[in-house]
Amino acid sequence: MNRVSVDTAGRPPSVDALARELSLSHSLPHALLVDFARRAIAEKPSEAKKLADKLADDFEQSLLRDVINATGVLLHTNLGRAPVAMQTSNRASNLELNMATGERGSRQATVGKLLALLCGAESAIVVNNNAAAVLLVVAALANSRDVAVSRGESVEIGGNFRIPEVTEQSGARLVDVGTTNRTRLRDYKKAIDKRGNDIALVLKVHPSNYRVSGFVEDTPVRELATLSVPVAVDIGSGLIDNTCPWLESRAPSWLSNEPAARQSINDGAALVMFSGDKLFGGPQCGVIIGRADLVEACAQHPLARALRPGSTTMLAMQSLAMSYLGRTATRDIAFWKMATISTSDLQSRAEKIVTAAKTGEVCALDSIPGAGSAPGATIASIGIVINGDYLTRLRMNETPIIARVKDDKTFLDLRTIQPDDDEIVVQALRQLAE
């Protein structure tokens, strides 16, 4: 085949001919290759082939695909947070079909019952993320009224999600309570009783991606529950129960300061909101649990339809809830497998990888939960260290390996690498050694 180029008369190459040449090295749809060819010819006809190749390469690299998380961050936001296996078929599902009557049903009914039972609440619904859960709660319960939030909890988390702006978008008015570092029960009472305020809800927000220490004080849920208005608690990271009854041993120490859904309900929270793709170990979604009348008010709000999740999310949440209730979470849920694997097992795997790859050294590391969960907490781990910065080469592996670098050394943390992927790591390290 003739290679395309600017001809002797100075005319640019044919778009179709360039697209067909690109197809020899790129397995992308023809329409995409035509677009890359057209853009390259328009921008730089004399180097159209080189530029079109780069456009195609860059696009291929941008496609969503499986990667191996070797960073030691269990819930890595850039890598999709909790890894979840999508177990679906090509068949339809009874997402909104009542199987007993044959009539239309609710996508929330069964999953909501499972989540409510799991968390010790009256009712529950699922929306498409935790930001949506907070937005829906405030919109449904406090539209055109006031919401009391501690100044120390009027936070911003990832993606410019700010509590004041969410409150504004919900149609409610934010009332700041207390000070940045100390907010007491009397501060909330004062705000509720203040003339001119119309407080419908107290919103307690867990500052999940940072910690404030020193001269600080906040008001626990059990005290807030004595107030004359409902208390909605955004616990963020989705720990179901701080006793972790699904684990064979006691709850790990790195969860000691993490708020949990069941305990928040037991302490009197009217509603609790949390993420599904963090410590819960599920897909991206948000969960609202609590008093049946308040959950129903959220479910009936017009925003609920815009924020509802699809069938794959609901199927995954159903499966996860059943695993928690059946005490099989460490067998079925990838996050809890990663979180609970012993360092002795990691040590054994690391030694086998280093021996097989004939490069690297076994080293002790500290993994972190990630995604704003348990900020400041670490989990003892074992990994492999290689002298030099190999981030790019590992990322360009056929199955990309996402590692980390410090002091010109590359680290691969075994805690976040699935055991089934060890052989891929061996092959990648061998290529580095060669």
User: For 240-375, where are the alpha helices, taking DSSP H only?
Assistant: 261-266, 292-300, 303-306, 311-325, 329-332, 334-340, 343-357
**Mean pLDDT over residues 287-315, rounded?**
96
Reference 215, options 255, 249, 250, 182; nearest CA is 182
**Mean pLDDT over residues 302-315, rounded?**
95
CATH assignment of the domain containing 148: 3.40.640.10
Count how many residues are written for the chain.
434
Percent of the chain residues past pLDDT 70, beyond the cut: 94
Across the chain, mean pLDDT equals 92
- Domain membership flag for residue 135: yes
Quick one: angle between helices 343-357 and 422-433, nearest 10? 40
How far apart are alpha carbons 383 and 390 in whole angstroms? 15
Output b/e per residue, 175-189; b: 16+ Cβ within 10 A: bbbbeeeebbeebbe
**Mean pLDDT over residues 247-256, rounded?**
90
Band (pLDDT 50/70/90 cuts) for residue 180 is confident
Q: Is 114 found in the same domain as 192?
A: yes
- Quote the number of domains for the chain: 3
- Domain membership flag for residue 402: yes
**Does position 2 have pLDDT exceeding 50, yes or no?**
no
**Does position 162 have pLDDT exceeding 60, yes or no?**
yes
**Mean pLDDT over residues 253-281, rounded?**
95
pLDDT at position 200:
96
Q: Is 353 found in the same domain as 220?
A: no
Q: Is 132 found in the same domain as 278?
A: yes
**Mean pLDDT over residues 181-209, rounded?**
90
**Mean pLDDT over residues 14-38, rounded?**
95
- Domain membership flag for residue 360: yes
Percent of the chain residues past pLDDT 90, beyond the cut: 81
Output b/e per residue, 271-303; b: 16+ Cβ within 10 A: bbbbbbbbbbbbbbbbbbbbbeebbebbbebee
Domain that holds residue 379: 68-80+336-433
- Domain membership flag for residue 154: yes
Q: Which of 292, 309, 326 is the last residue of a domain?
A: 309
Q: Are 308 and 107 in contact (CB under 8 A)?
A: yes
pLDDT at position 102:
95
Band (pLDDT 50/70/90 cuts) for residue 214 is low
Half-sphere exposure of 263 (CA within 13 A, CB side): 16
**Does position 3 have pLDDT exceeding 80, yes or no?**
no
Q: Is 304 found in the same domain as 188?
A: yes
Q: Are 295 and 288 in contact (CB under 8 A)?
A: yes
Which tokens is 5 given? 């180029």
> Cα–Cα distances in Å, from 62 out to 25, 56, 178?
17, 10, 46
| Sheet hosting strand 379-387, strand order edge to edge | 361-367, 379-387, 409-413, 404-406
**Mean pLDDT over residues 330-348, rounded?**
96
How far apart are alpha carbons 127 and 211 in whole angstroms? 27
CATH assignment of the domain containing 402: 3.90.1150.180
**Does position 161 have pLDDT exceeding 90, yes or no?**
no
Q: Is 76 found in the same domain as 51?
A: no
Q: Is 156 found in the same domain as 225?
A: yes
423 C-beta neighbours (distance < 10 Å), count: 12
Q: Is 265 found in the same domain as 129?
A: yes
Q: Which of 62, 92, 119 is the last residue of a domain?
A: 62
Q: Is 341 found in the same domain as 278?
A: no
Which tokens is 328 given? 């099989």
Q: Is 166 found in the same domain as 38?
A: no
Q: Is 344 found in the same domain as 262?
A: no
Reference 377, options 237, 261, 217, 275; nearest CA is 237
pLDDT at position 4:
56
**Mean pLDDT over residues 119-134, rounded?**
96
Q: Are 126 and 318 in contact (CB under 8 A)?
A: no
| pTM of this structure | 0.91
pLDDT at position 209:
59
Q: Is 123 found in the same domain as 74?
A: no
Lowest mean pLDDT segment, chosen from 57-61, 159-163, 228-232, 329-333: 159-163
Q: Is 42 found in the same domain as 135?
A: no
pLDDT at position 90:
83
- Domain membership flag for residue 29: yes
pLDDT at position 1:
43
How far apart are alpha carbons 425 and 77 in whole angstroms? 22
Q: Which of 309, 327, 349 is the last residue of a domain?
A: 309
- Domain membership flag for residue 331: no
- Domain membership flag for residue 92: no
Predicted confidence (pLDDT) per residue in 77-118, tens digit: 999 999 998 766 788 999 999 999 999 999 999 999 999 999
- Domain membership flag for residue 297: yes
